[in-house]
Structure 1
């Protein structure tokens, strides 16, 4: 018996590792989504700062507001498995027609899910869809700046064919069937798991990935970002953002 995905359902997957200061903003931005047909899957990658307990308490406090959602699922991994292991665990739990990525230190625009679902339902050839986004310094959410490294249309496939990156991983929504077909993230390229996954989705010669030009995501810059360990302060210009 093949796995049957729930039509119209968006499975939002968040991985958390020591992100207590940012979780309220992140979770509130998802609670405020205009699109109501979603489930939330939070994977805690063996945090040591109380992140998992914080998430549980936050969800309990907001439970009356969450009753319209399809489900809230939390899983604490018994040991730190790294980003690829944590996010792939979350994808295995996802039962939605669509899977959306959300980084625990970032925020989504209230219309993000609605506009991505609408676009993908109207464009059945699109397997993966990112969005435009803005960057803000931690503590200064009102001072957001645009980015200029994203590409659109036929340019996307060309960039990835040349080893480049032009989709912000945190903004991504993709069809659950894609995960069923090719699997999730791997540890093969440490620090660039996001790049490898998107490149794996792209079909040679086909325009099956796209970015929305509208800003629907807000990326927080702070000193504890995982990507700083690999790419330094300029990681965003190279498209690495986890």
Structure 2
């Protein structure tokens, strides 16, 4: 696969476990992207709710639009629950694009998210991974949005991680797939903070990382957010 990646294609990897209530908003936000060259890889981690049925119905309803746009959608249902690190690695391995984007199944993206991030990487060949700022909102009051203030930029990113901190929202990242080919995905070594580990591992491999100050992602706060034992921030869910 390393030598067969499709130029310009963004592989959007969505992992899901029992987020049926939020899936339509998540999926619709990918379908609405102004950047049209994408594939969607949806990894369901053996959900026990109606998640798979909802995705299948969404696919049926949007089949014509997907066919017209030549957008491939892969729905991969894992036979048993393997956790975030395992699920997202399955998605990363299935990705065939030049770029890989992450999308949490209970959040949604701005319609120009992929366009802005791909353009940034094309204009900045020295950067391997780019995140964005985002709006956080309570699930029960979705119009009550607050702009994140903990995201950092430029050389401050490496400094923050060097001191054990965190300043990249994992759900917003888009990176060159060659980064995954080089270092692999997250592991289970830091339970609950696998996404943090992936950023730190990228920096340790001397990859350059940046965040866009523009809020291109909408981050849902709700009672059943994936918890973390390693790192917790009021704004961020793991």
Could you say if the C-alpha distance between residues 126 and 171 of structure 1 is closer, same or farther in structure 2, counting changes exceeding 3 Å?
A: same
Aligned-partner SS, 2:130: strand
Could you say if the C-alpha distance between residues 230 and 91 of structure 1 is closer, same or farther in structure 2, counting changes exceeding 3 Å?
A: same
- Hey, what's the Cα distance between the residues in 2 that align with 1:49 and 1:82? 16
* Counterpart residue number, 2:220: 220
- Hey, what's the Cα distance between the residues in 2 that align with 1:84 and 1:207? 20
* Counterpart residue number, 1:39: 39
* Counterpart residue number, 1:18: 18
Could you say if the C-alpha distance between residues 208 and 2 of structure 1 is closer, same or farther in structure 2, counting changes exceeding 3 Å?
A: closer
Structure 1: segments with no counterpart, 5+ residues: none
- Hey, what's the Cα distance between the residues in 1 that align with 2:59 and 2:8? 23
| TM-score normalized by the length of structure 1 | 0.93
Give me the CA root mean square deviation.
1.7
- Hey, what's the Cα distance between the residues in 2 that align with 1:230 and 1:52? 28
Residues 71-110 of structure 1 mapped to structure 2, 5 A cutoff: 71-110=72-111
Q: Relative to structure 2, which stretch is displaced further, 16-25 or 206-215?
A: 206-215
Structure 2: segments with no counterpart, 5+ residues: none
Mapped contact 2:34–2:111 kept (Cα < 8 A): yes
- Hey, what's the Cα distance between the residues in 2 that align with 1:38 and 1:78? 26
Aligned-partner SS, 1:235: coil
* Counterpart residue number, 1:4: 4
Mapped contact 1:134–1:215 kept (Cα < 8 A): yes
Aligned-partner SS, 2:133: strand
- Hey, what's the Cα distance between the residues in 2 that align with 1:175 and 1:141? 32
Aligned-partner SS, 1:29: helix
Aligned residues, how many?
237
Residues 13-162 of structure 1 mapped to structure 2, 5 A cutoff: 13-67=13-67, 68-162=69-163
Aligned-partner SS, 1:52: helix
Residues 28-49 of structure 1: CA distance to partner in whole angstroms, max 9, x if unpaired? 1111100000000000000000
| Structure 1 segments of 4+ aligned residues over 4 angstroms from their partners | none
- Hey, what's the Cα distance between the residues in 2 that align with 1:18 and 1:78? 14
- Hey, what's the Cα distance between the residues in 2 that align with 1:14 and 1:145? 24
- Hey, what's the Cα distance between the residues in 1 that align with 2:32 and 2:237? 23
Mapped contact 2:135–2:147 kept (Cα < 8 A): yes
- Hey, what's the Cα distance between the residues in 1 that align with 2:140 and 2:118? 31
Residues 164-183 of structure 1 mapped to structure 2, 5 A cutoff: 164-183=165-184
Aligned-partner SS, 1:70: coil
Mapped contact 1:153–1:207 kept (Cα < 8 A): no
- Tell me how far 1:65 sits from its aligned partner: 1.6
Mapped contact 2:131–2:173 kept (Cα < 8 A): yes
Residues 75-98 of structure 1: CA distance to partner in whole angstroms, max 9, x if unpaired? 000110000000000000000000
Aligned-partner SS, 2:158: helix
Mapped contact 1:13–1:42 kept (Cα < 8 A): yes
- Hey, what's the Cα distance between the residues in 2 that align with 1:160 and 1:115? 25
Could you say if the C-alpha distance between residues 165 and 69 of structure 1 is closer, same or farther in structure 2, counting changes exceeding 3 Å?
A: farther
